[in-house]
Amino acid sequence: MPTTTPADAIALLKADHRKVEALFEQFEKAKDIAGKRKLAQEICTELTVHATIEEEIFYPACKEAVEDDLEHEAYVEHDGAKVLIAEIAQGNPEDEFYGAKVMVLSEMIKHHVKEEEKPGEGFFAQARKGDVDMETLGGTLQARKAQLLAAIRQGGLPPPETRSFTGHKLKQGHVVEAAG
């Protein structure tokens, strides 16, 4: 098997972004329930792994280079996405709000990606200006990503772990009934 050079950390994360964008597009076009379910599970898996490697490895490595406000927004955006990921992963494409949840998640991720990839001032641009070896960091991200994917294949998606949502208890209200 040929050896490959680890990707630059930012290139790896951008590749993840493109993959998830393509999956959301496929979900929008999918017509059958089984296809939607499979795509949604893949979206949830990819986003769970991506958020984990960013939070565990990338964000801490770039902390000194990135503005605090931008870093805080990234964590809050991840936490909001994790709530929807949990709903989608436990749901079914035939559920009343399933499609809406996937579409809102897509919009949230588009915004998050835009903030990370914004030329000159986004998270990635600021991180690149810092004193971080992006090649070594990329190898670390790849290794952790492989571990997480193997764990998910074996045991399924883990429950969401939020980092910025604290001090509250959620209460389930009455379910909104379908119209008609």
Instruction: Indicate the domain borders of the chain.
Output: 9-154
Ordered alpha helix ranges (H), the chain: 9-29, 33-53, 59-62, 68-90, 98-117, 123-129, 134-155
The tally of CA atoms less than 13 A away on the side-chain side of residue 149 is: 11
pLDDT value, residue 7: 82
pLDDT at 85: 97
Among 65, 51, 76, 53, residue whose Cα is nearest residue 121: 65
Task: Give the pLDDT score at 154.
Answer: 95
Per-residue pLDDT of the chain (180 residues; tens, 9 = 90+): 444 555 899 999 999 999 999 999 999 999 999 999 999 999 999 999 999 999 999 999 999 999 999 999 999 999 999 999 999 999 999 999 999 999 999 999 999 999 999 999 999 999 999 989 999 999 999 999 999 999 999 999 998 888 888 767 666 676 776 655
Q: So what's the pLDDT on residue 180?
A: 54
For 132, list phi and psi in degrees, rounded to 5: -125, 130
Predicted local distance difference test score (pLDDT) of residue 2: 47
User: Quick check: 126 and 67 in contact, CB under 8 A?
Assistant: yes
- Return the pLDDT at 1: 45
Q: Which of 75, 78, 69, 67 is nearest to 120 (CA)?
A: 67
Closest CA to 168 of 68, 83, 52: 83
- pLDDT reported for residue 161: 86
